[in-house]
Amino acid sequence: MTEVMRVGVLGARGRVGSEVCRGVSAEGDLDLVAQVDAGDPLDLLLEGDAQAVVDFTHPDVVMDNLEFCISHGIHAVVGTTGFDDARLATLRGWLADSPGTGVLVAPNFSIGALLMMRFAAAAAPWFESVEVVELHHPDKADAPSGTARRTAQLIAAARDEAGLGPVPDATSTGLEGARGAVVDGIHVHGLRVRGLVAHQEVLLGGPGETLTIRHDSLDRASFVPGVLAGLRAVGDRPGLTVGLEQVLDLG
Ligand SMILES: NC(=O)C1=CN([C@@H]2O[C@H](COP(=O)(O)OP(=O)(O)OC[C@H]3O[C@@H](n4cnc5c(N)ncnc54)[C@H](OP(=O)(O)O)[C@@H]3O)[C@@H](O)[C@H]2O)C=CC1
Ligand SMILES: O=C(O)C1=N[C@H](C(=O)O)C[C@H](O)C1
């Protein structure tokens, strides 16, 4: 008989969290034992005897949530953004004191977005120019998106490895912000437009040609299969795992 995993969702009434609650409830091997949102005590996780949580909350609160979970030996699958190297180091420190506990942090749980990032990194060594444009709903708290930051880092690493120099840009005057933010030398532009969900384009260019790689999350259901895969894997991966691609076999 398949063992059932008891799951708590943090940010359960949010845009993604509510979708995750539906997804978890529909699976026979997962039992939704706690739905926690702003103002609810984290002790609900202990009352439900949660073995793992999913966190889609806010960059300002996610570290407190994870400190609680790790200290109680509860595995975590984390979609919330805002993870820089310092935060990841803090998580590693907490996890060192809680052997056997696993945390998976992923900037994007949709399969298409993972492939988009992989394709962008594969294309990067072949083009002189590259910029990232992320497009989201206007209620998003952070900019640029975690996905855009990660994409820029992957592109920069691929360019470095190929021995490419800086991306050419003759801009010497203009309005502040007109060229976007710069992540590891790659320009990243954020658009916030009502009606959008989560979208990204990577534009690459060389002499006489451009290549555009685009991904669209049209519905937040796009994140759920990746979250479920993360839940099923996280208990077997003690310590910190960054990126859903570490869990999925994308070939
Ligand atoms: N990795 C991925 O694939 C994806 C990541 N994200 C990221 O996930 C995060 C959430 O996104 P989204 O669902 O759109 O945001 P929402 O604002 O819709 O949802 C967040 C929910 O968390 C609640 N919340 C706030 N503080 C706490 C707390 N301390 N404990 C529990 N719940 C809390 C909020 O309540 P209240 O509104 O009352 O504050 C809200 O209901 C963002 O960082 C976003 O970038 C989003 C999509 C995909
Ligand atoms: O806030 C969102 O909506 C999303 N956040 C994540 C990010 O910042 O990359 C993932 C996806 O883009 C949706």
Asked whether the predicted pLDDT for residue 251 surpasses 70, the reply is no
Whether 136 sits among the annotated catalytic residues: the reply is yes
| 3-state helix, strand and coil shares in percent for the chain, rounded to the nearest 5 | 35, 25, 40
ipTM of the complex: 0.99
pLDDT single digits (tens) 125-143: 999 999 999 999 999 999 9
pLDDT single digits (tens) 52-65: 999 999 999 999 99
pLDDT single digits (tens) 166-210: 999 999 999 999 999 999 999 999 999 999 999 999 999 999 999
Whether 140 sits among the annotated catalytic residues: the reply is yes
Q: Whose CA is nearest to atom 14 of ligand 1?
A: 15
Asked whether the predicted pLDDT for residue 146 surpasses 90, the reply is yes
CA of 17 relative to ligand 1 center, distance in Å:
7
Give me the catalytic one of 136, 187, 199, 215: 136
Quickly state the pLDDT bin for 50 (edges 50, 70, 90): very high
Q: How far apart are CA 79 and CA 73, in angstroms?
A: 19
Beta carbon of 200 within 6 Å of any ligand 2 atom: no
Asked whether the predicted pLDDT for residue 47 surpasses 70, the reply is yes
Q: Give the pLDDT of residue 5.
A: 98
pLDDT single digits (tens) 91-119: 999 999 999 999 999 999 999 999 999 99
Across 14-31, average pLDDT: 98
Measured from the alpha carbon of residue 78, the closest ligand is 1
Annotated binding site for NAD(+): 11-16, 79-81, 106-109
**Element of type H or E holding 90:** helix 85-96
Residues 6+ apart with CB under 8 A from 112: 215, 216, 217, 222
Residues 6+ apart with CB under 8 A from 91: 66, 70, 103, 105, 240
Asked whether the predicted pLDDT for residue 1 surpasses 70, the reply is no
Across 155-175, average pLDDT: 97
Q: Whose CA is nearest to atom 11 of ligand 2?
A: 198
CA of 188 relative to ligand 2 center, distance in Å:
14
Residue with tokens 């900019």: 143
Query: Per-residue DSSP letters for 15-73?
Result: HHHHHHHHHHHT-TTEEEEEEE-TTS-THHHHHTT-SEEEE-S-TTTHHHHHHHHHHTT
For residue 18, give Cα distances in angstroms to 60, 90, 110, 246: 19, 28, 16, 25
